[in-house]
Amino acid sequence: MSIIILAIESSCDDTSAAVIKDGVILSNCVANQEIHKLYGGVVPEAASRAHQINIVPVVDTAIQQAGINKEDLSAVAFTRGPGLIGSLLVGVSFAKSFAMSLNIPMVEVNHMQAHILAHFAEDPKPPFPFLCLTVSGGHTQIVKVTNHLEMELLGSTIDDAAGEAFDKTGKLLGLDYPAGPLIDKYAQLGKPVFEFTEPKVGELEFSFSGLKTAILYFLRKKIKENPNFIEENLNDICASVQYRIVSILLKKFKVAADKTEIKHLAIAGGVSANSALRNGLEEMGKEMGWETYIPRFEYCTDNAAMIAVTGYFKYLKKEFVGQDVVPVARWNV
């Protein structure tokens, strides 16, 4: 009999549902929340309210697009954490009641593990062991992946995440949230002519909060000299900031590859949609003789397909949870 799983993702500001059948994604629906643009960042209370509005239609659409009936489902997988508690609560509560009404098991999923396992949604799949640089709005991690569900954290950020560095820079530049995709777009029209220094931290550690402060002081000084500095130099500023963030990420990833002697390198998470990071990793891979794995755009930012893939591997191991499960804001891979 086929294994068909409904997956729910609601850890931050995207409500998503997906259906997977015997390891093959049948549908993946995402509802973005526009409301956060008004505030220049995710407002947790607004996010959980929007999840409440979106979750039923998103699940309905995912089931319809998959061409199945809800009675065909073998289990419900859901993101238990890490993330915003109010947002997670909506998905977890929905998953509990949905599973109970159908009398089927539930599978809890770690959002950061799922970003990595998005690579198993389609070919080519990285062979074990591989390294994954997971870069999102809340995390920046280098992870050694020895099996689908066996991962070791080799390094992470001591303050801001890479996505946060993009988003906070965007706020300083007056760009809409999330600013990552906009900075990427403008950077392609500019040159990295402004220099921002690299942070001095441990070998496999990241730090982005100093960069944010450096950009703030840089802009203040330049605007004093020329009030139109941002408008006149937006593309070059974006190119310079992006150059620095990407060079920090790739440098540390190379250190991890050298230390572990692992030659299969993957990127995951929202920031892996960045064109400079994607091109940079590919070029470095050619130079170093690595095999590199870059996810399709749809699987970079938050989506339930990655929750479905992870849920499927956990289902095969019969790793189920009971109705007493609660969401968690923090949870290591």
Among 136, 242, 274, 310, binds Zn ion (CB under 5 A): 136
Nearer to ligand KG4, 4 or 179 (CB): 179
Give the residue among 168, 162, 177, 240 at the shortest CA–CA distance from 208: 162
Q: How far is CA 67 from the centre of its chain?
A: 28
Contacts of 253 (CB under 8 A, 6+ apart): 131, 133, 142, 265, 281
Nearer to Zn ion, 9 or 184 (CB): 9
Position 163 contacts ligand KG4 (CB under 6 A): yes
User: Using CA atoms, how far apart are residues 209 and 162, in angstroms rounded to an integer?
Assistant: 10
**Nearer Cβ to ligand KG4 (75/246):** 246
**Residues within window 215-274 making contact with ligand KG4, judged by CB under 6 A:** 269-271, 273-274
Contact with ligand KG4 (CB under 6 A) among 180, 190, 285, 311: 180
Quick one: what does residue 163 bind among Zn ion, ligand KG4, none, with the CB cut-off 5 to 8 Å set by partner type?
A: ligand KG4
Q: Which is nearer to Zn ion, 74 or 79 (CB)?
A: 79
Q: Is 70 exposed, middle or buried (0-12, 13-18, 19+ CB in 10 A)?
A: middle
The smaller minimum CB distance to ligand KG4, of residues 74 and 141, is found at 141
The partner in contact with residue 15, picked from ligand KG4, Zn ion, none with C-beta cut-offs of 5 to 8 angstroms by kind, is: none
Closest CA to 303 of 31, 70, 75, 20: 31
Dihedral (Cα; 117, 122, 127, 131), 10-degree rounding: -40
CB of 141 to ligand KG4, least distance (A): 11
- In angstroms, the Cα distances linking 94 to 54, 204, 233 are 11, 38, 47
d(CA 209, CA 197): 12
What does the binding site for ligand KG4 look like in residue numbers (CB under 6 A)? Answer: 12, 136-138, 163, 166-167, 178-181, 184, 269-271, 273-274, 301-302
What does the binding site for Zn ion look like in residue numbers (CB under 5 A)? Answer: 136, 302
